[in-house]
Amino acid sequence: MANLTDAILPRPSNRTGNDRNIIQKAAILLAVLLAVAAIFAPLLTPFDSLEQSLLSRLRPPLGFERHAPGHLLGTDELGRDVLSRALYGLRLTLALAFAGAVLGLLLGGLLGLVAGLRRGWVEDLVMALVDMQIAIPFTLVALLVLAVMGSSLTVLVLVLGIAGWEQYARIVRGEVRRIAAQPFLEAARTAGSGPLYTACYHVLPNLISPLVVQFTLALSNIVILESTLSFLGLGVQPPQPSLGSMVGLGRDYMPTAPWIVLTPALLILLLTFTVQILGDWLRDHTDVRLRDR
């Protein structure tokens, strides 16, 4: 009888909470590991990511026949160390995604702030741009821009930055409008605080937590976008490795040398997964509305 009650009654809420905590803790640990690996890639990698060894091409990872000593995860189609390239690729992919996300944050945040504070036609214009951005499939736009402008790291960062700005703009505008209606802002204005002062000292601090959450969520999307563009040959140019270009250039070797593709593909998966979990965790801990649930 007791068992039946157990089954019917909802489990104590802290149980599911613990499960989630474990996943989150594992993810955070993984995220830290990936970040350390990316930052210290030059110290960690056994080989230069560009160093070729033409006579030991396409060698399999440790433990397989024909393994070339030293190349833990095997070598690629030019005899470069897959592990070293993957770590450098991770580093470049993360750096690009980070730069892109920061750019998107600045651009979207600024436009959202202006729209929220100024209202009127400025707001209409910004929100029309936001709607346009949402309506157009961005990968297509990115492909077009890179095809016309040619690919360089600068253009790539710009494209990645433009990829997610509209989300920030919407969040910031919404928050600004909500905050503007709060009594404390009314009080500040009455006390003689100017528009710039109000924006910087009263509105911005209240925006930080939703922006951090959005930033993390956007980061994984940008990682995917960068990988897609590089996979298609329009992003990072060879011989420079990025996770996406390693998958793209290695796909002809899938049947004979799958490790060239699997290593970066696995890293993309881990990266987006952990960043996503991290975003959820940040939201749980910073969003006031969720705090007591």
Partner 1 sequence: MFRLMLTTTLAMLPLAAGAQEITVGAANVTPFLDPGRDHSNVGSQFYYNSFDTLINRDHSKLESKWVPALATSWELIEPTVMELTLREDVIFHNGDPMTADDVVFSLNRMFQATFPPYVVRAKDRLGNFTEAEKVDDYTVRIHAAREEPLWETLISLQQIMIIPEVYTKALTGDPELAEDGDYEAFALAPMGTGPYRVADLQPGEKLVWERFNGFWGEIAPLERATVVQIAETASRVTALKTGEVDIITNVAPDQISLIERDPNLKTEGTATALFHVMIMNQNHPKLQDPRIRQAMSLAIDRDALNEALWLGKAVVPSTHTMEEMGALHQPELTTFEYDPERAKALLEEAGYDGFEITYDTAATYYTNGLLAAQAITEMWSAVGINGRVNVQDQWSGDDPEMMARNWSNPMYFSDPFGSFGVMWAPEGPSESEGRFNTDAEYAEKWERFRFSTDIDARKAAYAELMEEMKADPVVLPLYRPFESWAMKRSVNWAPMPGHIPYVLDFRAGSISLADS
- Chain residues binding partner 1 by CB under 8 A are 50-52, 54-55, 57-58, 77-79, 150, 233, 237-239, 249, 251-256
Residue 151: CB minimum distance to partner 1, A: 8
Residue 241: CB minimum distance to partner 1, A: 11
271, 223 Cβ separation under 8 angstroms: yes
With a CB cutoff of 8 Å and minimum separation 6, the contacts of 275 are 31, 216, 219, 220, 223
With tokens 């749980």, the residue in question is 284
With tokens 């060239």, the residue in question is 260
Output 103 or 262, the one with its CB closest to partner 1. 262
Output 64 or 184, the one with its CB closest to partner 1. 64
Amino acid at 189: R
Residue 193: CB minimum distance to partner 1, A: 54
Output 82 or 219, the one with its CB closest to partner 1. 82
185, 198 Cβ separation under 8 angstroms: yes
Output 210 or 238, the one with its CB closest to partner 1. 238
Output 76 or 123, the one with its CB closest to partner 1. 76
122-129 long-range CB contacts below 8 Å, 24 or more apart?
Answer: 123/173, 126/169, 126/173, 127/173, 129/166, 129/169
Output 47 or 168, the one with its CB closest to partner 1. 47
Residue 52: CB minimum distance to partner 1, A: 5
In the chain the beta strands, taken as DSSP E runs, fall at none
Establish how many alpha carbons lie within 13 A of residue 66's alpha carbon, considering only the half-sphere containing its beta carbon: 10
Helix (H, G, I), strand (E, B) or coil at 75: strand
d(C-alpha 58, C-alpha 106), whole Å: 43
With a CB cutoff of 8 Å and minimum separation 6, the contacts of 222 are 96, 97, 100, 101, 104, 160, 163, 164
Output 183 or 255, the one with its CB closest to partner 1. 255
Which of 79, 234, 53, 261 lies closest to 160, judged by CA? 234
Residue 57: CB minimum distance to partner 1, A: 6
Residue 255: CB minimum distance to partner 1, A: 5
Residue 195: CB minimum distance to partner 1, A: 49
